Amino acid sequence: MSDTRVLLGQIRDLRLRLAQVHGSMTYGNPYAQILLQPETAPMHFGGRVPDASQRQALLDNAIRQLTAEVGSVEIRPKQLTAKVRHQLERGRQIVGRLKQLANDPVLHRGDSDSAGADPADPLLDNFRETAAMTESALRLVQSFPDAPSAQLRLGEGLENILHAIDDRVTSLTDTVAAQGGEHDKRDRLADLLEKLHDGNVSSPAPFLELAGEILHEVKSAAPLRFVHAHPKHLSKFVAAHSITCARIAARMIKHDAEWQRQASEAVVAALLKDVGMLNVPSEVLEQTGPLPDESRRTIEKHTEHGAHVVAMHLPARAALCEAIHSHHERLDGTGYPGGLKDAQIGKLPRLLALADVYAAMCAPRPHRPAFDPRTALAETLSLADKGQMDRNLAQRLLELSFYPVGTVVELADGTVGVVVGTHQHPNLAQSAAKPVLALLTDPSQQLLPTPKHVDLAESEGRSILRALTAAERKNLLARKYPEYV
């Protein structure tokens, strides 16, 4: 049973207890009938993503209802016990936190600039649902009897409800903050790449700062986040892919002492390598069918153009131009722009090539959905086995695991969990398939009260079947675990 249904059940129980005290009650809450259903059906505007004005209307309405409720909650009864008043103050604090959230740009923006955005918006739905339940709980206080003993009994139920709501607000706040951080990082790089492309950046300092943030993520064992944007937002699309490449490259070299001496340069190269893509019309990247030869040639020019941009406007990082120019070369000579082979291709462009291919496969594109992480890894390793990419470096991808930390997966028995840790085992291929999970559901995919941790390497007979798609994560986890959506 989801935490939403548990919380609604607690509200119903409290209402029944109040009904036993008063004999009968009526409610003015416009959400009441919806809240009493087994699951709350979010409003999706006929399957369309709500536009900015519709999102604003939803947020304003939720906050207006809360504000009206918290202002009138002491009309009846006139005398409240200290404990109930304390819970009422806690409710006011929750309302204040929800008001702050309603002003957050993440809730207003949604996934409008993401690739493959699903019509459902789990954060907005979670916010509206939480606001409605907060209002419903606070309205119940108006019906509390005057008798202190009855208020104390009913106050215990109210305390449990507000505690659960408070947890939901905390989870939602953390998720909104994390998504805001991701948007900020992507938008910062998009702005920098645009300025660099136009000749308005002459210092590598802001790129080094971003590289430092990404290396810090790796050192702190943060989950590998795949950043997406639709190619119609060209600079954001390029920035999103570049950040994902940088994160992958940083993890591939994490345990190599020689690479660590140039880790910052490698990550900066990953951030810069596709600046030449800003010369490609977004219409070319938005095509859903096979690319015409002319469009393909336009895209393939981005490596040369990018190297030229960096050489011209970032002379302090001219040493990276070879890697930027060559990151689409292949060891068997089938790459571009020069058809280089074997020793003609340096170590850094080999690293970038692997990160680029894996990152691209893990991201949705107009002509296809995102690959499952295991499939993307297997396809990349297959290219190395065929002699197109560096086999030794390709093995470093196994350190990410078939399912990187943060991936939501389904086990063979139907249980759903999230990867929270991976093993550094001599047999990387074996350990890559058996990470540490936090199980979120039972085999029937009913949410557990709390996550249950399991190490698949120590658990016989349990194996991962697949990674969940974005739509599946939203449908199953949005209410209780928006951070995994």
Q: Where are the domains of the chain?
A: 3-180, 198-400, 408-484
**What is the tens place of the pLDDT at every residue in 40-64?**
334 444 444 455 566 556 656 666 6
What pLDDT score does 36 carry? 34
DSSP label at 373? H
To the nearest 10 degrees (0 to 180), the angle between helices 234-252 and 205-219 is 50
Q: What percent of the chain has pLDDT over 90?
A: 56
What pLDDT score does 37 carry? 37
pLDDT over threshold 90, residue 205: yes
CA separation (Å) from 474 to 42, 122, 470? 12, 6, 6
Could you tell me the end-to-end alpha-carbon distance of the chain, in angstroms, rounded to an integer? 18
What pLDDT score does 108 carry? 74
Q: What percent of the chain has pLDDT over 70?
A: 80
The answer to whether 314 touches 212, Cβ cutoff 8 Å, is no
Which of these ranges, 356-365, 387-396, 460-469, has the smallest mean pLDDT? 460-469
Other C-beta atoms lying within 10 Å of the C-beta of residue 367: 12
pLDDT (mean) for 305-327:
95
What pLDDT score does 143 carry? 79
Backbone angles phi, psi at 209, to 5 degrees: -65, -45
Q: Helix or strand or coil: residue 315? A: helix
Nearest one of 74, 253, 77 to 150, comparing CA atoms: 77
pLDDT over threshold 70, residue 242: yes
Give the span between the Cα atoms of 485 and 475, in whole angstroms: 9
**What is the tens place of the pLDDT at every residue in 137-182?**
888 887 788 888 888 888 888 888 899 899 999 989 999 999 899 9
pLDDT (mean) for 283-310:
96
Range with top average pLDDT, 1-5, 141-145, 229-233: 229-233
Give the span between the Cα atoms of 391 and 383, in whole angstroms: 9
pLDDT over threshold 60, residue 29: no
pLDDT over threshold 80, residue 481: yes
pLDDT over threshold 70, residue 20: no
Predicted TM-score (pTM) of this structure = 0.82
Q: Could you tell me which residue, 33 or 475, shows the higher pLDDT?
A: 475
Could you name the CATH architecture of 198-400? Orthogonal Bundle (1.10)
What pLDDT score does 144 carry? 82
